[in-house]
Structure 1
Amino acid sequence: MKDRDTEKLSTLRLINAAIKDRDISARGEGREDGVDEAEVLAILGKMVKQRQESARAYEEGGRIDLAEQERTEIGYIEEFLPRQLSDEEVAKAVDAAIAETGASSIRDMGKVMGALKARYTGQMDFGAAGPMVKARLG
C-alpha cells in the first residue's frame, strides 16, 4: 500500500478474498480450523492457471496489453507459491511415488497421483504429471 503499487495491491486483495471465501465455505462444512496450507496452495495454483488461460485468450484476441496484465498478476501470485519442480525433479518424484505406493498397473494411477498431490501441492503441474505416471505404469 505504501509503495502505491495498485496492480499488486489489487492482486493481493483478490488472493485474500479467494482464501476468505474458501475459509467461510470450510467453516460452513463444519471444519472449525477453516482452510489449511494445502488448500491455500491449491487456491493460488488455480488462480495462476486461470490467469495463464486468460493471457492465452487475450493474445489470440490481439489484446497484448491485457495479456501482459494477466502475466503481471501471475508473478505476484507466484511469490506466495513454493518453487516449481523442474521436469527432472518431477520425473524423480513420480518414480518415488510409484515405488512408495507399490503401483504396478494403470489401475494404481489414482494412488500414485494421490501420493504426489499430498506431497507436492503447489510445486508441480499435475496435468503434466498425470501422463508421465500413465506412461510409467502403462
Structure 2
Amino acid sequence: MTLKETLQSDLKDAMKARDQVASGTLRMTLAAIKTAEVAGDTAKELTDDEALKVVTKEAKKRREAAEAYDGAGRQELADQERAELVVLEKYLPAQLSDADLDQMVAEAVVESGATNMGGMGKVMQLLQPKIAGRADGGKVAAAVKRALS
C-alpha cells in the first residue's frame, strides 16, 4: 500500500469516527499531494518518497504556524496546529535524536574533508539523502555549523 493510499484509507476511517482534526488534516495533505502531482508540464503519480516530502513540508508548516501563534499570544490556534502536527507525524519516519544527528554530521564532515564553513555545502549534500525527513533542515544546518566551527 502506497503512502497516498494509506492517507486515503485513514481519511475514510477518520470520517467514520467523526474525528474532525484528523479528517481535516488528511484532506489538506491529500490536496497538497494532488497539487504536487499536477504541478509541472505533465501530471504524474508521486512516488512514496515524493509523497513523504509533501507530508514533511505540511508538518513543517504546522510546526512554524504553531510557533507564530505562540508568539502572537493565540494559544487556541497554536494548539490546533499542534493537533494537526500530531496527525501528520504518524506518517513521518522516526526523528533522529540529537546524538544520532551529531554522529551523522561528524561522519559527513570526515567524508567530505571539510575543515571550515566553506565546506558546509558539501557536508549538507552528503547528509540530505541519509537524513531525508528524519530531521528538520534548520536543525541539521545548525549541527553542521557547530561541527565546522
TMscore range, shorter length:
0.7 to 0.9
Aligned residues: 135
The 1:13/1:70 distance shift into structure 2, 3 A limit, reads same
In structure 2, what is the Cα distance between the partners aligned to 1:107 and 1:56? 31
1:19 pairs with 2:33: yes
1:90 pairs with 2:101: yes
1:104 pairs with 2:104: no
C-alpha RMSD of the superposition: 2.0
Equivalent residues in 2 for 1:121-136, closer than 5 Å:
121-136=132-147
In structure 2, what is the Cα distance between the partners aligned to 1:44 and 1:52? 12
Matched to 1:19, the amino acid is I
Contiguous gaps of at least 5 residues in structure 2 = 1-14
- Which secondary structure does the structure 1 equivalent of 2:127 belong to? helix
1:49 corresponds to: 60
Percent of pairs with identical residues: 39
Give me the TM-score of the superposition, normalised by structure 2: 0.79
Given that residues 41 and 121 in structure 1 are in contact (C-alpha distance below 8 angstroms), is that contact kept between their aligned partners in structure 2?
A: no
In structure 2, what is the Cα distance between the partners aligned to 1:92 and 1:116? 11
Equivalent residue in structure 1 for 2:125, among 114, 117, 130: 114
Give me the TM-score of the superposition, normalised by structure 1: 0.84
In structure 2, what is the Cα distance between the partners aligned to 1:97 and 1:37? 26
Contiguous gaps of at least 5 residues in structure 1 = none
- Which secondary structure does the structure 2 equivalent of 1:95 belong to? helix
